[in-house]
Amino acid sequence: MWILFFIVTLFPLLSQQNSCFTEDINHSRSIYSIGDTLSVEDQNFLYPVCNGSDNYTTGDSFSFSDLNGNTNGGDYKVSLISMNATW
């Protein structure tokens, strides 16, 4: 009985804490083509970091402005963003 209770109630909660997600991801955004520059709003939007490396640790937030030397104090980075639907 207790095992069933754990599976039904606690396990989803624990799993959620260990996963990497944000509650409010909805914001209006533009669609960008080659030559376009991301808006300040889109550059400042925060995304969770699920695996830390370089200057990030797991649990940090990432934004495109992190790579923009004009907004991060002069640390200019050229970024390659690799998008994947599945791993």
Residues that bind other proteins (CB under 8 A): 18-22, 25-27, 29-38, 42-43, 45, 47-56, 58, 62, 64-65, 67-70, 73-87
- DSSP bridge partners of 62: 47
CB of residue 44 to other proteins, shortest distance in Å: 10
- Taking the C-alpha atoms of residue 71 and residue 44, their distance in angstroms, rounded to an integer, is 10
Residues 52 and 65 sit within 8 Å (Cβ to Cβ): no
CB of residue 2 to other proteins, shortest distance in Å: 25
CB of residue 63 to other proteins, shortest distance in Å: 9
* Other beta carbons less than 10 A from residue 56's beta carbon: 14
